[in-house]
Structure 1
Amino acid sequence: MNNRFSSIRYSYIRSHLYGVFLTTVTILSIMLSIYVLFEPEWLTPHSIFLFISLYIVLAIIISLYTGFKSSGDMKERLDYLSVLITQFANGNYQSKVYFNEEDELARIGNELNDLGEKLQSQVKSLQRMADEKADYAKSAHKAAVIEERQRLARDLHDAVSQQLFALTMMSEAALKQLDKNPHTAKKQMEEVAKSALQSQTEMRALLLHLRPVHLSGDSLAVGVKKLIGELKQKSNTQFQMAIEEELTLTETVEDHVFRIIQEALSNILRHANATEVKLEIFKRANELFIHIRDNGKGFEVHERVENKASYGLKTMRERAEELGGTFVIRSDQNEGTHITIRIPS
């Protein structure tokens, strides 16, 4: 309610009412001065009171009406500017606003239009740089493969090898307890089965990184469907896809988006413990939208900033920003995770 009464429309009305107050005080002062100094017969206290009362009533009504009407155009034009700024914030730099008037708001609108053109040019420059970077990446493919193998080796050592070592220790402990304490041995074997399943999930996620970085000639829709098809066969996770078939994208954009999706699915398999994953890819109003949602255990986003597990999130954000896009992630404990990516095209 307080925000409503602080709007531009009510500011206009308040300024009109303030003018009524000052005018009333001025007229009343003049009439009282004439009455005291000259005492004309036509001017009496009763007539002064009646005149001032009628003036206040009529002035308030006219002030409310004129303040409301005169502020309407101003509010509408400010709303246009607000919508334009929101469009810029969402990455839609092609939006423009036009005013017939030649005043300060029209000048601001023209400056925002110029800003949108400059931002659009910067996005094209970023995408051109991404194309150049992609060409450079292809020429340095061997170095990238070596680096990826080293990272996979570290992940295997940190995760899977430790889990396999734990499986060995628990299995040996269960064998020792099998004859003496079958109940304890059963519990230990249940832990072995649980750890084995976790190791299997971890391996499937790491194998995602062994896929080629590029789509190898396939379109984005075909490449993603192949990826999801493989995951359906190798995991118990349910996948739902909604991918627009007729997407016209550059090779660089397709490769970056495919790699982002690959990284996101890898993170879900490794960390989320999700049973359902939904992936949407579609194009609207010169923007490519990618939405990935899972029903996993979720996490506190701000706690992952310095965490090692946030490396994949950082990589996805950087890839989106290289294309001039935005990367937004929302997650809470036991509430799943939502990733939304918007890329100008």
Structure 2
Amino acid sequence: MKKLFGIRGWFIQSFIMMAFIGTLILFVGLQIYLFNNDSTILDIKMTFWLSISALIIFLFVGGYFGIKGSQLLKGRLTDVLLYISTLRSGNISEKLKINERDEIGLIAEELNQLGNYIQEQSSSLQRLADTKTSLAQSAHTAVVMEERQRLARDLHDVVSQQLFALSMMSSATLRLFDTDQEKAKSQLEEISKIAANAQGEMRALLLHLRPIQLSDDNLCDGVIKLLQELKGKTNLDFQASIDEIEHISKATEEHLFRIIQEALSNILRHAEASKITMTLTEKENYIYLFIGDNGKGFNPNTERIVSYGLKTMRERCEELGGVFKIRSKEKEGTYIDIRVPFVREV
């Protein structure tokens, strides 16, 4: 009964047991009364039927109050359960309404205090991220920038030489048209494919190696410039909705910008997509970032091609106290949802 009906079954069972016990006490009491008094009104048969009548009344009354009491308790416990689920999903701004100062009310109050504590911890994580970013910038900015630019130049030179070599190979292959046109055509198609892959890899790596800093741009302007740059260099179709988020900390901006860079780099390298959808907006003290593509997708449980990039994005999101979710299926694209709480800076 407990497994089937839960709290309601427990309440009804308790009241039914009380009804039986009450009836038994009434019957025994009547028998004691008859034993000590020569009553002409009551006899054993009458006391039996009185006890049966009392049992029926007790069962109806106990069942009614059992159902009403269980509904009240179940409703309050359901509110507590839903609030715990809300906390687990990362929505820490909600509060549980306290109607009574009983044991359940005290539990609700403690849960509200826990929500406040989690919210304070999220703010502390962001402040730590701000401090960490400031220290890292003051100590390593010059070296990191110089190294990134050097790597970008070297990479550009290497890939450009590869493309030049492919161009020479294609020119040589063209001469085969006089002797073996089918073989020449097959080689040209392979060379063209290799060249396209090399260009895509170069763009992705250059995007990944570009400086982290947004310079004087805010997050909105930096993302828009990044998308415009990619749109001019690739054949991808971008559908973006980028809202300007005011009074956001520099560390949060740079973490989110770096997450976007990493996600776009993964798409360029692995997704084979033709369309990218991006949404960046703010609602109720949360920043929402969505990035999706229509590429080949993968199985998140087994695929390890972009595991390092996903791990980096998840770590950056968690440093801000955010929630990182990814959905992907083979031949159906990949979708990333990020929600980050933030406190406006004055």
Indicate the TM-score class for this superposition, using the shorter chain for normalisation: 0.7 to 0.9
Q: Distance in 2 between matches of 1:70 and 1:264?
A: 53
Q: SS in structure 1 opposite 2:302?
A: helix
Structure 2 counterpart of 1:341, one-letter code: I
1:337 to 2:345 alignment: no
Quick one: structure 1 residues 106 and 40, their matched pair in 2 at CA, closer, same or farther if it must change by over 3 Å?
same
Partner of 1:141: 141
CA contact (8 A) 2:155 2:202 kept: no
Q: Distance in 1 between matches of 2:20 and 2:11?
A: 14
**1:146-175 per-position Cα deviation (integer Å, ceiling 9, x unaligned):** 564687699889x96998699579748945
* Number of residues of Structure 1 aligned to a counterpart in Structure 2: 339
Structure 1 counterpart of 2:314, one-letter code: R
Structure 1 counterpart of 2:142, one-letter code: K
**Of the candidates 322, 325, 335, which is equivalent to residue 325 of structure 1?**
322
Bigger drift between 125-134 and 98-107 goes to 98-107
Quick one: structure 1 residues 298 and 44, their matched pair in 2 at CA, closer, same or farther if it must change by over 3 Å?
same
Q: Distance in 1 between matches of 2:4 and 2:29?
A: 37
Q: SS in structure 2 opposite 1:303?
A: coil
* Structure 2: gaps of 5 or more residues: none
Structure 2 counterpart of 1:14, one-letter code: Q
Q: Distance in 1 between matches of 2:272 and 2:38?
A: 93
Structure 2 counterpart of 1:255, one-letter code: E
Superposed displacement of residue 196, structure 1: 1.9
Quick one: structure 1 residues 81 and 184, their matched pair in 2 at CA, closer, same or farther if it must change by over 3 Å?
same
1:109 to 2:108 alignment: yes
Q: Distance in 1 between matches of 2:204 and 2:280?
A: 22
Partner of 2:251: 252
Superposed displacement of residue 288, structure 1: 1.1
Superposed displacement of residue 272, structure 1: 0.7
Give the structure-1-normalised TM-score.
Answer: 0.82
Superposed displacement of residue 267, structure 1: 0.8
Q: Distance in 2 between matches of 1:162 and 1:12?
A: 80
Q: Distance in 1 between matches of 2:169 and 2:38?
A: 112
1:220 to 2:219 alignment: yes
Partner of 2:74: 75
**1:212-245 per-position Cα deviation (integer Å, ceiling 9, x unaligned):** 3122112211211111122222222211112223
Partner of 1:198: 197
CA contact (8 A) 2:245 2:281 kept: no
**1:300-340 per-position Cα deviation (integer Å, ceiling 9, x unaligned):** 11224xx4632211111111111111211111211211111
1:185 to 2:199 alignment: no
CA contact (8 A) 2:30 2:47 kept: no
Quick one: structure 1 residues 241 and 61, their matched pair in 2 at CA, closer, same or farther if it must change by over 3 Å?
farther
Partner of 1:276: 275
Q: SS in structure 2 opposite 1:340?
A: strand
* Structure 1: gaps of 5 or more residues: none
Q: Distance in 2 between matches of 1:270 and 1:225?
A: 21
Superposed displacement of residue 297, structure 1: 0.9
RMSD: 3.8
CA contact (8 A) 1:275 1:296 kept: yes
Residues 22-61 of structure 1 mapped to structure 2, 5 A cutoff = 22-23=21-22, 42-43=42-43, 48=48, 51=50, 54-61=53-60
Q: Distance in 2 between matches of 1:201 and 1:133?
A: 33
Q: SS in structure 1 opposite 2:216?
A: coil
- Identity of counterpart residues, as a percentage? 42
Q: Distance in 1 between matches of 2:286 and 2:113?
A: 20
